[in-house]
Amino acid sequence: SALGAAHQAGIVHRDVKPENVMLRKDGYVKVLDFGLARPTERHEVSMEAATLVNTEIGMIVGTASYMSPEQARGQRVDPRSDIFSLGMVIYEMLAGRSPFIGATNSDIVASILKEDPPRLTDLSPDIPAELERVVNRALTKDKDQRYQTAGELLSDLKRLKQNLDFEIQKDSSVRADSQVSGGAVTAAMPARAFTADHPPAKSTSASAIAPVFVPRRHLARNAILIALLVIALLAYLYYPRKPQSVESIAVLPFTYSNSDQGSAQGPEANWLSDGITESIINDLSHVPNLKVIARSSVFRYKGQNIDPQRAGSELKVRAVVSGRIVQIGDTLSIQTELVDVQNQTQLWGEKYRRKVTDIIDLPEDISREISEGLKLELSGETKKQLVKRYTANPQAYELYWKGRYHWNQRKPEDINQAIKYFQEAIKLDPQYALVYSGLADCYVLGGVLQMPPKEAMPLAMDAARRALSIDDQLAEAHTSLAKIKLSYEWDWPGAEAEFKKAIQLNPGYATAHQWYGVYLSEMGRHEESIRERTTAQGARRYDESIQHLQSALPKDPNYSDTYWSLGLAYEQKRVYAEAIAAFQRAVDLSKTSEATEGKPEMLAALGHAYALGGKQADAQAMIDKLAKLAAARTYVSSYGVALIYVALTQKDAAFQWFERAFQERDENFIHLKVDPRLDPIRSEPRFQQLLQRVNLAS
């Protein structure tokens, strides 16, 4: 926090109390009377708790009603003493009385040293329990059990304030009591307001403060606000600012809440929060010398109420961006914050109000202001990239991000819905390059749609080329083209060149890294692949892969692909019973109204596990089932059928199906070089010839 910065600079105020906080008419808060503030002794250690004030032992300084226990004893004080005093100020604003009272100063000091303050919820039952917990911790007599840094206190206060903000916004009959904008602060003070016209009265007793009858929810919120202002102003006055040096940043998934529905679920909520988050990630990825964590890494926190400090530590970044979207009718309130994880300080924060139909430039505004908050020196080209707008049509913009949300689900019904959204967006704005790239990516996943490659991939190629004809600097389109070259054309050098081009244009584009990781794995460059994808499956580190997949299951227990990947790992560990169970679960989860038997690739994987597990009859039954599906005009990968015959040791049949796969341009041929399921036939001359035909021979 900012107070933490002051403490790091060697300043302890030693007399934080209501009389030293004044709210001016113009809305600014002023901190008075720094006569007792003293510099702390400077040590090499940076911990705030290790900083001691240079006060003689036995010398008592400060106002009795707001002293910390260590101050009252005349002991050495440190920044935790200010935290105790600030806790007393917050308590008094909430309760209308001091936590420690007495007829004389000596009685007050005795109360501070020996008594616990009355419970806030006993004095005012409407005070949030979490706020009482924060105040109680600040008022802990043992300073080792108190908040150790102002940053810890600030983090809890800000999180609680955000929750109260949301509760107030849900109540449309209550006007907002405060607004923070660009450094000017306005606040309706609860319980006690000190202005130039109404100076504070000197007080050390319970009768000194008379409660003001305001809604308790607002009172609690404003008490927190004033506490935050005191922390900020102390540091502003006494901390010599240094330029921030932030070299890495993570943008956490924005949360979304609807005042009518609470925490909304589904695409109507997710497209908005996901779209804004991804847009900011993509924008910041263009900033030179700034490492931006990719979507695939940060989206594991989606739906979690995680502290930005913890997320930043886990992701090993210096700064974290978090945001909250609250929708009230057709209006959005977006609250954003940029924090320095290392110093526990807020680098920047802002609130925005937009109509749902007027958010098209919001991500660019946020990205630009974040870069300003980081004090980055940007070139003209980078500034231009940060404000680049791909469409001026708000409805097309909305359709694009709805399409991307569905595309990310990787399910047949979602891919079909994404195609519809992208096609609608193209009708509204035929020059919207991103939409064509999204459409290309849908057809690239033709296997999910049960479309033969010779039908899906030409459509993907047309869309990718159209996107590049509009904007040849679009990373998404180069990624789409790279995937087509990889999976359909078997143009390995061309695919790598396009992947590298995409990553150069947008280092934060997660899909480029993911698919480039697939390419590297198929080329046998597994260590490079792991750096791109953070996966162990391709490198045949199966224990690690199983552990990773099992940890992913609770997050989405109904995702068939996770069980499919788990089955592959079990299979290579030769624990066939577990492999069969995982594949059977994948088959069951992949069943839909269109695919009543399950996805063909899941059935083929189950057949392969049956064959390896000695269940030849069951394996043959899977082959028969796949043949019936193919006869019913369902696309069945010939590669998958060939694998079952490999496991059954029927090599001639296997190579007949591999030939069919070659003629169909089966995208699974990219696995030929490294697929462990093909190890039994690698020495076969026919297999070596097959590698040559797809340009994979050594």
d(CA 695, CA 698): 9
**Torsion-angle region of 669 (φ positive above 0: left; ψ -120 to 50: alpha; else: beta):** alpha
d(CA 652, CA 364): 58
């089966």: which residue's tokens?
Answer: 666
On whether the CB atoms of residues 227 and 89 are closer than 8 A, the answer is: yes
Q: Are residues 567 and 444 in the same domain?
A: no
């600097």: which residue's tokens?
Answer: 473
Give pLDDT, residue 250.
94
Bridge partners, residue 335, by sequence = 324, 351
Tokens encoding 466: 């159209």
Domain assignment present for 103:
yes
CB atoms within 10 A of CB 101: 18
User: What DSSP letter does each residue of 6-44 carry, written as one string?
Assistant: HHHTTEE-S---GGGEEE-TTS-EEE---TT-EEBPP-S
Give pLDDT, residue 175.
46
> Which tens digits make up the pLDDT trace of 254-296?
999 886 655 445 555 688 899 999 999 988 888 888 888 888 8
Is residue 433 helix, strand or coil? helix
Which residues, 6 or more positions from 374, have their beta carbon under 8 angstroms from its beta carbon? 244, 246, 249, 290, 319, 338, 347, 348
Q: Are residues 508 and 619 in the same domain?
A: no
Those residues of the chain that have pLDDT short of 70 are 1-64, 164-244, 259-269, 387, 530-531, 533-542, 593, 698
Among candidate residues 631, 644, 647, 638, the one with its CA nearest the CA of residue 690:
638
Is residue 614 helix, strand or coil? coil
Tokens encoding 62: 């400060």
Give pLDDT, residue 579.
95
Domain closes at, from 361, 386, 411: 386
Q: Are residues 276 and 303 in the same domain?
A: yes
Domain assignment present for 143:
yes
> Which tens digits make up the pLDDT trace of 105-159?
888 888 889 999 999 888 888 788 888 898 999 999 998 899 887 777 877 877 7
Domain assignment present for 243:
no
Domain closes at, from 533, 561, 591: 533
On whether the CB atoms of residues 168 and 217 are closer than 8 A, the answer is: yes
Q: Are residues 504 and 560 in the same domain?
A: no
Domain assignment present for 612:
yes
Domain assignment present for 539:
no
Q: Are residues 351 and 252 in the same domain?
A: yes
**Torsion-angle region of 245 (φ positive above 0: left; ψ -120 to 50: alpha; else: beta):** beta
Q: Are residues 302 and 414 in the same domain?
A: no
Q: Are residues 311 and 341 in the same domain?
A: yes
Domain assignment present for 43:
yes
Give pLDDT, residue 643.
97
d(CA 283, CA 273): 16
d(CA 290, CA 284): 8
Tokens encoding 553: 């299951």
Give pLDDT, residue 563.
92
How far are the Cα atoms of 59, 83, 108 from residue 78, in angstroms, in the given order?
14, 10, 21
d(CA 282, CA 366): 12
Give the number of C-alpha atoms closer than 13 A to the C-alpha of residue 117, restricted to the C-beta side. Answer: 32
Q: Are residues 229 and 328 in the same domain?
A: no
On whether the CB atoms of residues 317 and 293 are closer than 8 A, the answer is: yes
């159209």: which residue's tokens?
Answer: 466
Q: Are residues 273 and 318 in the same domain?
A: yes
Q: Are residues 52 and 13 in the same domain?
A: yes
Q: Are residues 377 and 398 in the same domain?
A: no
d(CA 283, CA 383): 10
Cα distance between the two ends of the chain: 58
Is residue 328 helix, strand or coil? strand
**Secondary element (H or E) of residue 137:** helix 129-138
CA 336 to chain centre: 13
CB atoms within 10 A of CB 511: 21
Give pLDDT, residue 3.
44
On whether the CB atoms of residues 410 and 511 are closer than 8 A, the answer is: no
Report how many domains make up the chain. 4
Tokens encoding 504: 């150069």
Domain assignment present for 698:
no
Give pLDDT, residue 226.
61
Give pLDDT, residue 240.
43
CB atoms within 10 A of CB 358: 13
On whether the CB atoms of residues 516 and 482 are closer than 8 A, the answer is: yes
Rounded to the nearest 5°, which phi and psi values hold at 322?
A: -130, 155
- Any idea of the CA torsion for 411, 415, 416, 417, to the nearest 10 degrees? 100
Q: Between β-strands 331-340 and 345-355, what pairing exists: parallel, antiparallel or unpaired?
A: antiparallel
Q: What is the pTM of this model?
A: 0.64
Is residue 508 helix, strand or coil? coil
Q: What is the CATH classification number for the domain harbouring 614?
A: 1.25.40.10
CA 670 to chain centre: 32
Q: Which amino acid is located at 280 in the chain?
A: I
Give pLDDT, residue 430.
98
Q: Are residues 369 and 400 in the same domain?
A: no
Is residue 257 helix, strand or coil? strand
On whether the CB atoms of residues 129 and 163 are closer than 8 A, the answer is: no
Domain assignment present for 118:
yes
Q: What is the CATH classification number for the domain harbouring 287?
A: 3.40.50.10070
Which residues, 6 or more positions from 353, have their beta carbon under 8 angstroms from its beta carbon? 331, 332, 333, 334
Domain closes at, from 216, 238, 260: 238
d(CA 476, CA 549): 28
Domain containing 418: what range? 394-533
- Any idea of the CA torsion for 28, 34, 37, 43, to the nearest 10 degrees? 50
């190579």: which residue's tokens?
Answer: 655
Give pLDDT, residue 203.
36
Q: What is the CATH classification number for the domain harbouring 120?
A: 1.10.510.10
On whether the CB atoms of residues 86 and 16 are closer than 8 A, the answer is: yes
Tokens encoding 509: 């584009």
On whether the CB atoms of residues 256 and 263 are closer than 8 A, the answer is: yes
